[in-house]
Structure 1
Amino acid sequence: MEISARKEQFSIAYIEAIAARLGLNPSVDRVDIDSVDLRLSADNFNVAGRVVRNPQIEIQLKCTSQDIEKDGSLKFKLPVKNYNDLRGEDITSPRYLMVLIVPSKPEEWITINSDNMSLSYCCYWQSLRFFPETSNTSKVTVQIPTSQKITSESLLDLIEKASKREFI
């Protein structure tokens, strides 16, 4: 399998592992025409004593082993099609770009010991909802603060915001 396909599969597995811990339901469209690689939804999500049925977020996943961190943010070159599909206020479910940083050697992506397994390195998120139009024709450099790391807590927070119909 080519390295780009391996990165795609690993990034899905990374997010799905966190989603499994939280009890979120992942789903994948058969055809990716709208820059959504993965959806996460919650069944009967409880927000402040009120049950919300099936809040969901939509995710465009990218994976890189390049050193793109500088001055507290990632500088990721996103294809214009993905940029345009993720931005704008005419989207009903919150959409997020998630960029997973991995070691350059695939054999270093996962470490398995007798009592645990760890996935390397970290994944970060950014909402492009209010980003401006671009005149670029190929790629747009998107900045993602390194403080926006994907953790169980941050992923749950994004689902909670979706349940309240809050868009970032």
Structure 2
Amino acid sequence: MDPQKQKEEFQYAYVCALAAHAGLNRGEFRVDDDSIDITFQAKGDVGPGRRRSPMIQVQLKCSSQDLIAGDVIKFPLKVKNYDDLRGDEVVVPRYLAVLLVPNDLDQWIANNDDHIALFKSCHWLSLRHHGLLAPTEL
């Protein structure tokens, strides 16, 4: 399998494992034309004001590059994806999730008789209140 496709498949497995642990249901889109790869939804009433069946939408990205500078992740996101994820006029909150994996594919997962471990780390951010990019940021 192409290494980029392996990253895509691994990022789905990673976030789906996290969602299953949190008790969230997931839905996947067949066509990614709105920069959304996956949706997570909780059942029932949750949070202040007792909101029912909350949902979020997520754009998934995966990289083996060293993108961390201090406490900031500098992920190169296409302007189309940025624009699709930002703004507060969308009904369902949207997030960008970036999974950082080791360069060596053999270090992505560890499996033995009593557990499985997925490496390395997944970070997410809402771009809801971010504005237009300046030409120098493109």
How does the TM-score come out when normalised to structure 2? 0.92
Query: Superposed, which structure 2 residues align to 1:78-117 within 5 Å?
Result: 78-117=77-116
Tell me the equivalent position of 1:12.
12
Tell me the equivalent position of 1:165.
none
Count of equivalent residues: 138
Against the structure 1 CA distance between its residues 104 and 25, is the aligned structure 2 distance closer, same or farther, given a 3 Å change threshold?
Answer: same
Paired amino acid for 1:34: D
Gaps of at least 5 residues in structure 2 are none
- Secondary structure in structure 2 of the residue aligned to 1:57: strand
The question of whether the paired residues in 2 share the 8 Å contact of 1:80 and 1:136 is answered with: no
1:99-145 alpha-carbon deviations (Å, 9 max, x no partner)? 000011222111002211000000001111111112559x85xxxxx
- Secondary structure in structure 2 of the residue aligned to 1:111: strand
Against the structure 1 CA distance between its residues 90 and 46, is the aligned structure 2 distance closer, same or farther, given a 3 Å change threshold?
Answer: closer
Against the structure 1 CA distance between its residues 132 and 49, is the aligned structure 2 distance closer, same or farther, given a 3 Å change threshold?
Answer: closer
Tell me the equivalent position of 2:2.
2
* CA distance in 1: counterparts of 2:45 and 2:10, whole angstroms: 27
Tell me the equivalent position of 2:64.
65
* CA distance in 1: counterparts of 2:47 and 2:128, whole angstroms: 23
* CA distance in 1: counterparts of 2:126 and 2:49, whole angstroms: 27
**TM-aligned CA deviation for residue 48 of structure 1:** 5.2
Tell me the equivalent position of 2:38.
38
Against the structure 1 CA distance between its residues 106 and 136, is the aligned structure 2 distance closer, same or farther, given a 3 Å change threshold?
Answer: farther
What is the aligned-residue RMSD (CA, Å)?
A: 1.8
Gaps of at least 5 residues in structure 1 are 141-168
Q: Whose relative contact order is higher, 1 or 2, with alpha carbons under 8 Å and at least 6 apart?
A: 1
1:73-108 alpha-carbon deviations (Å, 9 max, x no partner)? 111110111101001121111100010000112221
Tell me the equivalent position of 1:131.
130
How does the TM-score come out when normalised to structure 1? 0.76
* CA distance in 2: counterparts of 1:65 and 1:136, whole angstroms: 27
* CA distance in 2: counterparts of 1:61 and 1:46, whole angstroms: 25
* CA distance in 2: counterparts of 1:123 and 1:105, whole angstroms: 17
Tell me the equivalent position of 1:77.
76
